[in-house]
Amino acid sequence: MYVLDGNALGTTAAEAVKRRAPLEVTQPDSVVVSIGYPLTDNVYALTQRGIDFRPPIPSPAPTTPRAGADDFLAFITGTVRPWVRDSVFPSVKFTRDALYGHSFGGLFVVYALLQKPLGFDTFLAASPSLFWEGGRMLGMVTDALGDGNSNGTTPLPSPPGLSTSGNYPLPAVVISYGSVEQFPVRRRRETEAAFQARKRSIMVRFNNSMTVNCHDLYDRIKGSGNKVREVMLKEYAGQEHSSVAASAITDGFEYFIDW
């Protein structure tokens, strides 16, 4: 499983694999590939991830920062994966790969699904930032997959044969989010003034649309017919934007290996 924002989430993913192994004796051997950045005082490399995870905008042209999602996707599939398979684990036979991303990384996972649908067996998008650039990614999903009621106008890339990382010709998709991301609740020791200020901050940062956008994304992918083999939508009750990242990794790993 390839995990974006590896400095923050890579260890969480590895622990999920280790915790499950003693209880699930048939669990297949798994490798977590944590993709991070040089260590700083912040586990999120905000500037660089803002470039690497940013999809190109069809129109108008982007200003700043640079849209580097195409280069980053090519780096993962063309550099990191061959290095893992050929140099780090040359004697291991890999059968399937998953791609996990949270927040802006989740947006990147959705973009990767549209650009390389056979590049991974399973796409795990946790709290994807679909509000980005006024919801342009949802428009790109509609172009490729339709709006849930009709087919898209831009065919997905479809190289012949099985997935480059799996046993299926079509990918699976898991979309997840926390119930209080869009609908925050007052904390036990939080004053009403502090609660209202936090809600305003959520509105500014995330456009207060996580639940609606994730359901919208699910409907469009679900309505795409035979362009994916399965799509699942999961809400985590009582969880916020940060806490849902770990839960989605644990459940995403279990979904991925229990194929």
Q: What is the CATH number of the domain that holds 211?
A: 3.40.50.1820
The pLDDT tens digits of the residues spanning 206-253 come to 778 899 999 999 999 998 877 899 999 999 999 999 999 999 999 999
Which residue has 């994304």 as its token pair? 217
Q: What are phi and psi of 177, to 5 degrees?
A: -160, 165
Q: For residue 61, name the pLDDT band (cuts at 50, 70, 90).
A: low
Q: For residue 15, name the pLDDT band (cuts at 50, 70, 90).
A: very high
DSSP 19-49: HHTTT-TTPPP---EE---S--SSSS-HHHH
How many domains does one find in the chain?
A: 1
**Owning domain of residue 213:** 2-257
Q: For residue 40, name the pLDDT band (cuts at 50, 70, 90).
A: confident
Q: For residue 119, name the pLDDT band (cuts at 50, 70, 90).
A: very high
Instruction: Give the pLDDT score at 166.
Output: 52
pLDDT at 196 exceeding the cut of 90: yes
For the chain, give the number of residues.
Answer: 259
The pLDDT tens digits of the residues spanning 88-113 come to 999 998 989 999 999 999 999 999 99
